[in-house]
Structure 1
């Protein structure tokens, strides 16, 4: 902690409650203050530069300080800095963005609805599902099935959809309308001698049994990330989404694809739904939609979802839902320009090619004494750390080893993020193979440093015996 009470660090501790932070620990150690960013780099107030290997929070697709996004925001700010979309009002940027998203969607979609974050978007999804069920004369159809370790946000509804314990503890969550089924993490969850296909079949059977136990007529939808991000970068096993969707179709249950992390090139295709052959009824976007330069998110719905909602709004006289900033003109203009850049520079193909190099470099660490599993696709990857490769046991307690390696990596000038003991990588789509090499080299150094710290005491204890 800085001794100067007027420093940014001291004032941060004095006045600012942080997200995803131990508030008491923060009072002791204070923040890392980031002053500026450029390309794949950010710089702290001491002038130290870091490769931002998480693109902020999985989100800065085109890199930091992209001049075209700054100019797009400036132009729109000067022309129409704000307007709303209530009561039949519209403006050019929101219409343009809605048209762009609906027409570029990988499956037929009908309408776009805009919110300000992925959490708000998934909260809206739950409300629209309930609204639709009432419109269809099925008031009992209110339950949504999600998955353990899935991440869908932190509002009351979206945190309920999230399947991570720390998003529920002491918040009195989840809501009773949300049901969680198994996580599709083959390395952790498969039974002995169970193939990927057998594992996927078992998860599909679990889903069907859950639907039957709850009553198919009570289930509105199933929500899932194409691949799980904040749960530790979990790729579904082969055949998983094919089998899950077959069950959903059998019982007439809608599929919601949470593309907040996967969308706009992260997996090496424009959408994660394409990568994993999903055909959702609802798609949710945020993060890379605007490279997070401004807060914006979107919910796409198909006609099967839209038509009953439109009828119900006509019956009542209004769709009684909305946000002051929904479809904000400046955010919409930036999102449009961001998508234009992704398309013009072919960053999806770039992510696919450079992503192969990222996966290759990380898989080269599979033999490291701290490596449990390496997983990923495109420009998203995770390396799960273990203290004992045979038993897959953690060091001290779950998350301690991940936090240690993450600290060492930051000291070496790479910002990542650990989800428990999984170190995640989700760099800007503009990263080069040479820059990937720097990240991988420094990761290996960080793992070596951590290994020396956790293994030396063990060896010393063994020598005494």
Structure 2
């Protein structure tokens, strides 16, 4: 890995222009006031800033580099493909060889009947597309009234409008309300609560699945489009594990 070097004047100009021309995602003015962190290189699980300081990339650059930075075999594969075709969209009736090979490989390793892939650029777009697919499915089946989506409290699903609507974090949604109607929030299921499939947000004697079932009956089963959930909620709630069997029971019920 070749580390880039810069003069003090260049560093100052980069920092000034970063704040002048770029609006960061989830911008925090208090942090930006301390000066922007500018990264220039990566190696394995580490990244290096413009001053040469090393950081542990604990979230794999938003999960885009889970194989690590500066992997020679990945660089070689990218270069080889660039020699043939940089990009062509999978649109209407067009495909590419790498796309077909990837889809075939995914079909081999995915469980059950999961064998068809719809390729998207990000998790937010994936969840947004899933919500649209669920809506489209019911519309084509003559049930346009099935538009409500059940998510779980404290869940995170996307920064897009639809994904934000089903994200179970009130502080995350409040800046953009009113959002898309029909979003319902059931309690989480926590493994340690009472030794069963229950939650700290449901009455004693009921399980979180009971509450979800009551919610469906109250809203009307004929109005429910889908259930969206993260099997293990993220860092915003400490990665709580659901009890054994929860996902299977949720699916079958």
Q: Same fold (TM over 0.5)?
A: yes
* Change over 3 Å in CA distance of 1:242–1:85 after alignment to 2: closer
Following the alignment from structure 1 to structure 2, what is the Cα–Cα distance between the partners of residues 98 and 4? 44
Following the alignment from structure 1 to structure 2, what is the Cα–Cα distance between the partners of residues 175 and 99? 35
Contact 2:189 2:197 in 1 (8 A): no
* Change over 3 Å in CA distance of 1:244–1:82 after alignment to 2: same
Q: Which has the higher helix share?
A: 1
Taking the TM superposition and a 5 Å limit, the aligned residue runs for 1:3-152 are 6-22=12-28, 24-152=29-157
Contact 1:143 1:177 in 2 (8 A): yes
Following the alignment from structure 1 to structure 2, what is the Cα–Cα distance between the partners of residues 131 and 226? 24
Which structure 1 segments of 5+ residues have no match? 248-465
CA drift at 1:6: 4.6
Give the 3-state SS of the residue equivalent to 1:126 in structure 2: helix
Give the number of equivalent residue pairs.
Answer: 239
Give the 3-state SS of the residue equivalent to 2:240 in structure 1: coil
TM-score normalised by length of structure 1:
0.48
Taking the TM superposition and a 5 Å limit, the aligned residue runs for 1:159-170 are 159-170=164-175
TM-score normalised by length of structure 2:
0.86
Following the alignment from structure 1 to structure 2, what is the Cα–Cα distance between the partners of residues 124 and 78? 32
* Change over 3 Å in CA distance of 1:77–1:154 after alignment to 2: same
Following the alignment from structure 2 to structure 1, what is the Cα–Cα distance between the partners of residues 241 and 197? 16
Match of residue 213 from structure 1:
218
Contact 2:186 2:212 in 1 (8 A): yes
1:89-146 per-residue CA deviation (whole Å, 9 max, x = no partner) reads 1111111112221221112124211111110111111111111101112111121111
Match of residue 241 from structure 2:
235
CA drift at 1:60: 2.5
Contact 1:150 1:162 in 2 (8 A): yes
Greater RCO between the two (CA within 8 Å, min separation 6)? 1
Give the 3-state SS of the residue equivalent to 1:197 in structure 2: coil
